[in-house]
Structure 1
Amino acid sequence: MAEAVGRRREVMVVLPGLMLAMVLAMLDNMIVGTAMPHIVAELGGLTHLSWVVTAYVLGTTVSTPIWGKIGDLYGRKNIFLISIVIFMVGSVLCGMAGSVMLGGKDSGMAELIAFRAIQGLGAGGLMVNVMAIIGDLVPPRERGQYQGIMAGVMSLAMFAGPLVGGLITDNFDWRWAFYVNLPVGAVALVLLWLKLDLPKHQNKVRIDWWGAGLLTVSITAMVLVTTWGGNQYPWGSWQILSLAALAVVTLVLFLLVERRVVEPIIPLQLFRNRNFTLISAIGFLLGFAMFGAINFLPLFQQTVQGASATNSGMLMLPMMGAAMVVSLFVGRAITATGKYKAYPVIGGVGMAIGMWLLSTMGVQTPSWQTGVYIAVLGLGMGFLMQTTMLIAQNSVEQKDLGVSSSTTTFFRSIGGSFGVSLFGAIFNNHFLSELTGRFGAETAEKVAKGGGRMDPSALAQMPPQLRTGLLESLSTSISGVFWWAIAFAVVVPLLAAFIKEIPLRGGATQSASEPEAVTPAAS
């Protein structure tokens, strides 16, 4: 009992710093999402909107396995602090994009995309290390409670992000959507530097840089294929076919390397465990459907429904509030009962229903109705957000805790990368097609390019017929994105039904020092 109390006290000392680091990553995404219409209005490039998100998610995706493995080998504290610093540097650069100091607005969107990738490299270390550090300090049976708190904080950050982003963009410059990360990051950095005490490793095993490089090239090529295919280049063009071939070749080489190195970035033997494989697939689909589709909600609310940036943020609150309440409930329930299988199934069903409801939106859909739809989506997210990580961590030995956390986060991130890029391509194609059908090809091209700097004031000055056609085209295109998201969301509960409920380690009769056993591979 004394050991458990001491462990709980140790966790509570560092928990504020971990919570701030989590807020740092989650808050940024939601703030930027709300600020995007204003960013596009100043820097231009509506057709490049998805790349601002894709670059960030891609940076997070390719770096997550590396952060997790380095933490396992050399200790997590310093690695975690370095990732916070990189994130803060990326935030400063993003805030400076398009400024006179860096070349002016003509290159602003390209600069922002590049700096978002740097920011994403830091964010990859934030998410995986928070979960892995909790795994270091708390056994799985008690972990549900703390991960429930962290999931609640994630929801709170997502809850506050749109509102903060709206207030910033309505009352200040959109650049403060990035600069606001600096005080939060500084406090987290100081707290963790002073309070976080983790064992240091002196491991002489070399990092699998070949594997990391091949994985990075393969993922980047795949994202470019989904982003450019059928949009910037025809699917049968040499550019797309070359990228697809590069993705396949580097992926095969990566798998060969991982089978031979001593400390692989992603240990392939983890996938012999049924639960781990299922959770990785669920994470991929969750990221694909959720991050890919939600990216378009602020655009719908601010352009089609005419909400201000602040009101757009407030309209996202039902989703975040529902997710936060459910996450806290699920965390406590798992700690009390040790049962978890039902939650990802329920969450998958809720997410699919939410996506279907959002796909029915149109120009006449009132804001309150959108709020109900996204609240349903939030309920589904709340059941899924922390149970996936808990199941993954309970499937591996303690020595692989970081890499299990990073691999799970990696699959969610890569799903988000593909989702954002693919849905962005679907949106662009659908939007241009809708405009062409209404106004003809020549006018559609002009409207699409003019829409690259679209904001509420610009819409108000358009001729009524043009404005109506533009809003209807936007609405139909965004609804189409949610229709595609349904196809991926419905697979989540089907996969979750096959999860085998393994007793969580570290119950009342097991000490924290007792190693976690690997669950047997299912036949």
Structure 2
Amino acid sequence: MTHRQIMEALSGLMLGMFVAVLSSTIVSNALPEIISDLGGGQSAYTWVVTASLLTMTASTPLWGKLADLASKKTLIQLSLVVFVLASAGAGLAQNTGTLIAFRAVQGLGMGGMAALTQIVIAAMISPRERGRYSGYLGATFAVATVGGPLIGGVITDTSWLGWRWCFYVGVPFAVAALIVLQKTLRLPVVKRDVKVDWAGASLIASAVSLLLIWVTLAGDTYAWASWQTAVMVGGSILLGLAFVLVESRASEPIIPLRLFRNRTITLTSLASLFVGVAMFGATVFLSQYFQLARGESPTMSGVLTIPMIAGLFLSSTVSGVLITRTGSWKRWLVTGAVLLTAGLGLLGTMRHDTAYWQLAVSMALVGLGIGMMMQNLVLAAQNQVEPGDLGAASSVVAFFRSLGGAIGVSALGAVLGHRVAGYVREGLAGIGVRQSGDGGIPDLDTLPAPVRAVVESAYGHGVADIYLYAAPVALVALVLTLLIKEVPLRTTGGLQEAVARRTADVTATAGPDTVKTEPRTPAGAGTTADAGPSGPLAAAGSQRACAAASPPDGKNG
């Protein structure tokens, strides 16, 4: 594909990613007010985030497997539609239960966009060139991440709009993304019978769900060391073992276990798990810190996180360009892990009255680290697999990152609720005030000055504590990235390799004598070779080559 063709297709993918990220981040600064308005507490706050991460985690491998079996364009459009409809439903929610349910459906669409965007890029672009285009995606992610909280804050602070419009504002962008994808995304697809591993998908979803429910409720509803803990943890382990057994026997497993024989796949997956814990933990609870520990408005909460987003934007873009130029990627992973660990450690020292410049430096380090690691871990894994496994490999890395995020938000949210409750209890006892209330998210403007000071101090200290837990997790990710062996990036894309192999198969089937005496190259294979991977007829030649190797009713996706 030519650079122009790639950029046209990439524009639709970037619009889709922008919608998904925007609709997720736009509620971050509005969430304290949303939960307060709907009468929820810290547990509901955590589950509004965790619900979408949970379904995103469970569905990501399934989307990846479907991408290896069916039209990628149709799947991307389907995931986008699911996401938008769920966003509209979330905007109509009248209680936290309904909101959490629609957020779970949102996660299904998020899982599709997260996996399929990387898969389509891998099919179109060689690993060596992919760094530059991944940088564009990283920049899109950064813009949506910084724009979301700002827009959400403004909407929430605007009396004639309100927080419900945070869920509606992404609809026009989604419609535009659907139109652009329909017009620009052209990928050949080989039609074959689809065998979806529903049993494996159900088992992994059940195992992860049970684990997250345990993490969320333990220490609050029941003790950490209790029979409920034994039942839930034991059940999660048994479901996980059953998943491994099913995957080892499935003809089309959603997570092919043979991929983990590759050292790089195993290490990048584990590193993504720990990066997910640190990354989501670092970003989800910042809005609570700025609004409840420093008394900022939702709009200002978004403005104050700009250093982190600027760091993410800068590092993802620059690292992508330099990886394309040099072919070296490991140094960026290691540097990113070091910066992420350092930034989280510094955030662990903050309090409600910490100078903002210190917070800005810490957040910038976290953003730089995330930007260097997030896309490049996927790149390292994609470089190690055959074209037919690109979907599975990409979704495996995304799966572990989402799993880490879900576990991180649940665990750190539980820690935050426990720590804040303890600090508030100590603070109120110190000023001679008896504690009352249901443990919900407080409205600082309604509190007496002494009580407000206690709550602000409690949230400042409590949020800092969770970063002290996240920093060692990022350190583990650093160790894992050091163990990854750097392999030179390939210079051909998955689509080119697949087309070349199918053309070779057709040639072999026709027989060498037939090929030698044929005056014109069949199936457009020669056209593709003559034009080169970036020639104007590359796409058409690729489609004809795939058509020759597929049934006559195959169609483009």
TM-score relative to the length of structure 1: 0.91
Letter in 1 for 2:414: A
Q: Mean Cα displacement is larger for which, 41-50 or 123-132?
A: 41-50
C-alpha displacement of 1:81: 0.8
Given the alignment, which residue of 19, 26, 49 partners 1:24? Answer: 19
Q: What does 1:276-295 correspond to in 2, within 5 Å?
A: 276-295=265-284
Q: Mean Cα displacement is larger for which, 335-344 or 466-475?
A: 466-475
Is 1:364 aligned to residue 364 of structure 2? no
Given the alignment, which residue of 117, 131, 148 partners 1:130? Answer: 117
What SS does the corresponding residue of 2:329 show, helix, strand or coil?
Answer: coil
Q: What does 1:108-147 correspond to in 2, within 5 Å?
A: 108-147=95-134
C-alpha displacement of 1:408: 0.6
What SS does the corresponding residue of 2:483 show, helix, strand or coil?
Answer: coil
Q: Residue 333 of structure 1 aligns with which residue?
A: 322
Given the alignment, which residue of 173, 181, 197 partners 1:184? Answer: 173
Root mean square deviation of aligned Cα: 1.9
Q: Residue 230 of structure 2 aligns with which residue?
A: 241
Question: Residue 292 of structure 1 contacts residue 419 of structure 1 at CA under 8 Å; is this kept in 2?
Answer: yes
Q: Residue 103 of structure 1 aligns with which residue?
A: none
Q: C-alpha deviations, 1:411-466, integer Å up to 9, x for none?
A: 0000000000000110111111222223359977624x2x62523xxx23322221
Is 1:373 aligned to residue 362 of structure 2? yes
Unaligned residue ranges in structure 1 (runs of 5+): 1-5, 99-107, 518-523
Q: Residue 154 of structure 1 aligns with which residue?
A: 141
Is 1:49 aligned to residue 45 of structure 2? yes
Given the alignment, which residue of 167, 170, 173 partners 2:157? Answer: 170
Q: Residue 256 of structure 1 aligns with which residue?
A: 245
Q: Residue 446 of structure 1 aligns with which residue?
A: 436
Is 1:79 aligned to residue 75 of structure 2? yes
Question: Residue 305 of structure 1 contacts residue 367 of structure 1 at CA under 8 Å; is this kept in 2?
Answer: no
C-alpha displacement of 1:133: 0.5
Distance 1:70 1:445 in 2: 53
Q: Residue 40 of structure 1 aligns with which residue?
A: 35
Distance 1:429 1:323 in 2: 31
Distance 2:347 2:87 in 1: 31
Distance 2:446 2:133 in 1: 51
Q: Residue 297 of structure 1 aligns with which residue?
A: 286
Q: Residue 473 of structure 2 aligns with which residue?
A: 488
Pair 1:206–1:96, CA change in 2 (3 A): same
Distance 1:23 1:444 in 2: 47
C-alpha displacement of 1:246: 1.4
Distance 1:35 1:344 in 2: 33
What SS does the corresponding residue of 1:503 show, helix, strand or coil?
Answer: coil
Q: Residue 88 of structure 1 aligns with which residue?
A: 84
Task: State how many pairs are aligned.
Answer: 496
Is 1:395 aligned to residue 389 of structure 2? no
What SS does the corresponding residue of 2:354 show, helix, strand or coil?
Answer: coil
Is 1:197 aligned to residue 217 of structure 2? no
Distance 1:13 1:293 in 2: 34
Q: C-alpha deviations, 1:463-511, integer Å up to 9, x for none?
A: 222111111111111111111111201112111111111111116xx99
C-alpha displacement of 1:360: 1.0
Q: C-alpha deviations, 1:280-307, integer Å up to 9, x for none?
A: 0111001101102321101111122121
C-alpha displacement of 1:389: 1.0
Distance 1:89 1:124 in 2: 15
Question: Residue 140 of structure 1 contacts residue 506 of structure 1 at CA under 8 Å; is this kept in 2?
Answer: yes
Letter in 2 for 1:311: M
Question: Residue 506 of structure 1 contacts residue 512 of structure 1 at CA under 8 Å; is this kept in 2?
Answer: no
Distance 1:478 1:249 in 2: 34
Given the alignment, which residue of 449, 452, 475 partners 1:467? Answer: 452
When Rg is computed on C-alpha atoms for both structures, the one with the higher figure is: 2
Question: Residue 273 of structure 2 contacts residue 405 of structure 2 at CA under 8 Å; is this kept in 1?
Answer: yes
Is 1:408 aligned to residue 397 of structure 2? yes
Q: Residue 60 of structure 1 aligns with which residue?
A: 56
Q: C-alpha deviations, 1:156-192, integer Å up to 9, x for none?
A: 1112122111111111311111111211111111111
Letter in 2 for 1:446: S
Distance 2:127 2:470 in 1: 32
What SS does the corresponding residue of 1:262 show, helix, strand or coil?
Answer: coil
Pair 1:113–1:483, CA change in 2 (3 A): same
What SS does the corresponding residue of 1:32 show, helix, strand or coil?
Answer: coil
Distance 1:462 1:216 in 2: 42
Distance 1:512 1:291 in 2: 33
Distance 1:160 1:314 in 2: 9
Unaligned residue ranges in structure 2 (runs of 5+): 501-557
Q: C-alpha deviations, 1:131-163, integer Å up to 9, x for none?
A: 111111111111111111111111111121221
What SS does the corresponding residue of 2:249 show, helix, strand or coil?
Answer: coil
